[in-house]
Amino acid sequence: MYGPDILVRTLSKPTRVDRYGNHWQYHSRSDHHSKVACWGIIFDLLRVTPLLRRHIESGTVRFGINHEMRDFVHDRKKNLDVVLCTGSGAVSSPEQTLETLARDYDIELLPEEAAELGKLPKLVRAPVGAVLMALEAKACMTAHQRALPRLYDELNSSHLTVHGATDQAIAAGFAMVNIADHYLSPDLNKKNFAADPEWSHHKQPRDATLAVDKIRQLPKRSKLGDTGYDALAIVVIDCPNDGSKVRLVDGPPAPQRGDIYAYTSMIDRLSHIYATRFGDL
């Protein structure tokens, strides 16, 4: 699976610019990290799901960005990062595809990844009809313990909104947790941080473990009608946010191979659910 490596490689370049001209790898006011994570998920999912590729080739399946879903039961609404869907109108002009998004999001692809992308059918952005799969990605980068209630609530509200709108839709969640023991927060370093940086210090791996354990408490479902995510992944990274290379962490507290929260497990589960739930699409 390429997604996590693409994510940390892309985040290693400081492409987010704040109002003071500072360049950041991660900025809490930007959704760049979420979009890159969701891009990688769709990329991997297309590679391992023949039925989804056929639906894209036939023009049945499109994608939407920042799509507002409304919970029919409780009349609440939420914007989801990326959705796979049927189209309800003409494609955007100029045409946006998974390939053009890679350029728009400054995604760093290795030659073999770019070659894999070139083999896939063209997934096109269009007005959203019926949502088939909704992806939501969140990050916990600093002040882990204080951030946990909001992180949990934001992730929890996503699957509730998706399934409150349509129980048939697949709700997928992705959480990125930072295990760096020191971190440059854009909120604390708004002016000339290069000359006099204010570092945030974490107690690691304790802080990252607290975040991972909290995310594991999110509800999950194994069948239609239940409450929870259909699939959920947790990825742990080491990102001081100082311009140095971002590193993907394989050891604990990151989910290990075979864990239901491992990235590969999530992709395999999404592929299986899609194939069984939308075979007659």
Model pLDDT, residue 35: 97
SS3 2: coil
Q: What is the pTM of this model?
A: 0.96
SS3 73: coil
Where do the DSSP E strands lie in the chain?
16-17, 23-24, 62-71, 76-87, 128-140, 170-178, 182-184, 199-201, 231-238, 247-249
Model pLDDT, residue 143: 94
Q: Tens digits of per-residue pLDDT, 137-161?
A: 999 999 999 999 999 999 999 999 9
Model pLDDT, residue 194: 72
Q: Tens digits of per-residue pLDDT, 198-217?
A: 999 999 999 999 999 999 99
> Residue 206, Cβ neighbours under 10 Å: how many?
11
Model pLDDT, residue 247: 98
Distance CA 205, CA 238 (A): 11
Model pLDDT, residue 88: 85
The stretches in the chain having pLDDT less than 50 are: none
Helix axes 32-48, 3-11, angle to 10 degrees: 150
Model pLDDT, residue 40: 98
The closest of 46, 31, 34, 26 to 270, measured between CA atoms, is 46
Model pLDDT, residue 100: 96
Model pLDDT, residue 258: 96
> Residue 102, Cβ neighbours under 10 Å: how many?
20
Model pLDDT, residue 195: 78
Model pLDDT, residue 72: 85
Tokens of 84: 């796979």
| Residues 6 or more apart whose Cβ sits within 8 Å of residue 203 | 181
The closest of 120, 135, 129, 132 to 36, measured between CA atoms, is 135
| Residues 6 or more apart whose Cβ sits within 8 Å of residue 149 | none
SS3 63: strand
Distance CA 135, CA 127 (A): 17
The closest of 268, 266, 234, 267 to 249, measured between CA atoms, is 234
| Pairs from 198-206 (Cβ < 8 Å, separation ≥ 24) | 200/142, 200/143, 202/142, 202/144, 202/178, 204/179, 204/180, 205/179, 205/252, 205/253
Q: Which DSSP helix (H) or strand (E) runs through 53?
A: helix 50-57
Model pLDDT, residue 21: 87
Model pLDDT, residue 144: 95
